[in-house]
Structure 1
């Protein structure tokens, strides 16, 4: 199993840069034209990224969304629990956005999430505290906020977030590890294609990514 990196023309590269600089998420033509069933992987999402992600979901209409934790990542709840009310306020915005997508939503909680606050919203989402697996077609997908928790799971694809030093890679066994901090990944499950999309400008600053190793 391998990941094919799409080659883009100069024109497409300029479009992507313009979209990024104006706070959007560039979606290549090949992605917009795909007819397969889509899965979107996101992670460590600050409030300022919600509008762009919402637009992405409306355009793509994915069948599945996997969020690997830190749902309101501009609020470091583990470090400052006094901000729990603000966290809950922003959390409502995110859950409403995800519900409007009409996708099956799977969430693995991060270190800056609050389980009771999420469960109190009574969403139809699949919520796990540590790690889970999901079978989609010929793929077995393991997902967690922490890559270390995926070691005990047998899967083709491993989705995680949290640590900026654990890069997206294909290991020697052909297993694919996708870090949701690095990019939004859209998987065409039907045609076994991968699209890597850049988060909008300012996302890392809002995550305070430059200040911490594990966010």
Structure 2
């Protein structure tokens, strides 16, 4: 009986996820290169992330850290190391199976670089402060906003609710929502995370990330 209710709950969540991760027609019909930016993903939203990836037809997926954000690895790394290794391996493997897109991970404070390097197959690891170029547009990568490189045209990060601003460059925080960037036009579309994302990330009472 327990397995029945578990499956029913899973099916219900799947319907909610399916309904809420629709892309605008402009994105679906665009011939431009699509970049999908996500960050700080607890396990409870993995089904939603998978649906977004499937529907996006993204050419590049960039995750700016904390792949298993319900596991606060920075505080007790030895206690959770084995669990993190298994969960992150599953997440990375599932994304690589779902899409042919280029996949890039930027390790966060709750990631272990050596484990990520062991878990990836065709995905890439970029350290904080790295710059990649897509369609002639420079993209700065970091988990913490203060570790972003200088002068990149687009800057992607996560970790907390920082909102850097520049009149000349674009800053996108993957905590607030999923960002879809069309290049080379630099048009930006956002998709909300499900409400349970914040609970999964274990926000503290002051609404800052931990």
**TM-score, normalised to structure 2's length?**
0.84
Unaligned runs of 5+ in 1: 1-18
Structure 1 CA distance for aligned equivalents of residues 147 and 165 of structure 2: 18
Answer yes or no: is the 8 Å Cα contact 1:141–1:155 preserved in 2: yes
Answer yes or no: is the 8 Å Cα contact 2:201–2:209 preserved in 1: no
Task: Give the alignment of 1:1-215 within 5 angstroms.
Answer: 22-23=16-17, 24-81=20-77, 82-100=79-97, 101-150=99-148, 152-164=149-161, 166-167=162-163, 170-172=165-167, 174-211=168-205, 213-215=208-210
Answer yes or no: is the 8 Å Cα contact 1:21–1:200 preserved in 2: no
Alignment match, 1:7: none
1:214 deviation in Å? 3.9
Structure 1 CA distance for aligned equivalents of residues 192 and 179 of structure 2: 9
1:131 deviation in Å? 2.2
1:170 deviation in Å? 4.7
- Specify whether residues 135 and 146 from structure 1 end up closer, same or farther in structure 2 by C-alpha distance, changes over 3 A only: same
1:21 deviation in Å? 9.6
Aligned residues: 193
Q: Indicate the SS of the match to 1:142.
A: strand
Structure 2 CA distance for aligned equivalents of residues 138 and 35 of structure 1: 16
Answer yes or no: is the 8 Å Cα contact 1:22–1:201 preserved in 2: no
Answer yes or no: is the 8 Å Cα contact 1:39–1:62 preserved in 2: yes
Higher relative contact order, chain-length normalized (CA < 8 Å, sep 6+)? 1
- Specify whether residues 137 and 122 from structure 1 end up closer, same or farther in structure 2 by C-alpha distance, changes over 3 A only: closer
For residues 136-181 of structure 1, give each alpha carbon's deviation from its aligned partner in whole angstroms, at most 9, with x where no partner exists. Answer: 123110010011111x4221111000021x12x6523x21110000
Where does structure 1 differ by over 2 angstroms across 4 or more consecutive aligned residues?
19-35, 128-131, 209-215
Structure 1 CA distance for aligned equivalents of residues 144 and 186 of structure 2: 25
